[in-house]
Amino acid sequence: MNYKIIFYLIITTFLFACEQSNIKKSSKTIFIPENNYKNSGFALVYNNSLDNMKTLEDRSLGIYHKSLKKRSKVKISNPTNGKYLIAEVISNKIRFSNFYNSVLSLRIAEELELNLDEPLVEIISIFKDSTFVAKKSKMFEEEREVAEKAPVDGIQINDLNSKKTQKKVITKNKFSYSIKIADFYYEDTAFMMKDRIKNETSIRKLKISRLSKTKYRVLIGPFNDIKSLKDSFENLSIFNFENLEILKND
């Protein structure tokens, strides 16, 4: 018996399990530590036409999320323009498609100047006692009080370096996104994941991007329309990945 081969297989399996710690170990919801969550993906902007969902007020600075604990503070950014704000998870029991990384209020969408056809956001969890939150928490509470009284149409984006209110024009770029499966330390492990997805699904747009000597990223795409992107994303549900990301291609 070749013990070297057995040893290699054991080590490879162990590393694969570690690098894929974002895979669910059971069907039960697993809450992610507040200081360990980062995700780029499409958000679902709440509106009254959404059935079987608890109302999310238009002026709210709270969000619905599936895996972060209630009252967790998060930084939500618009990667296309750099705008961000601090929000709070107000529920993790709302059911919505896994394609979306969160449910946002109309106010958050407008303040971040999201493209509602491609509402890409980055969500990062923040320590409650971090310096970043300490500086922003007072503004969060004050804005929430004002927001509850303000009409939706009253939002204006102010440039702090200018006395005049500026209205920015959002240019529509070509739709091109990829799904990030995970980053791996070993190239062989990345190829194992690529082959597994190819063998167990109908997905064929698979590639491995070498980011460094010790970082190999498995990607699916590119996708040029939201339907094919969503279909492929949902086809990956059989693997129970915990933290798939959607990345905009340059």
Q: Is residue 97 part of a domain?
A: yes
Q: Is residue 103 part of a domain?
A: yes
pLDDT digit string (tens) for 196-208? Answer: 999 999 999 999 9
Q: Are residues 48 and 17 in the same domain?
A: no
Q: Are residues 23 and 55 in the same domain?
A: no
Which whole number is the average pLDDT over 53-67? 92
The two structure tokens encoding residue 43? 């958000």
Confidence of residue 134 (pLDDT cuts 50, 70, 90): very low
Helix (H, G, I), strand (E, B) or coil at 182: strand
CA–CA gap between residue 193 and residue 190 (Å, rounded): 5
- The percentage of the chain sitting over the pLDDT mark of 70, rounded to a whole number, equals 68
Q: Does the structure show a pLDDT above 70 at 25?
A: no
Helix (H, G, I), strand (E, B) or coil at 54: coil
Q: Is residue 11 part of a domain?
A: yes
Q: Are residues 117 and 12 in the same domain?
A: no
Domain carrying residue 217 = 1-28+174-250
Confidence of residue 150 (pLDDT cuts 50, 70, 90): very low
Q: What is the pTM (predicted TM-score) of this model?
A: 0.70
Based on DSSP, count helices (H) and strands (E) in the chain, helices before strands. Answer: 5, 10
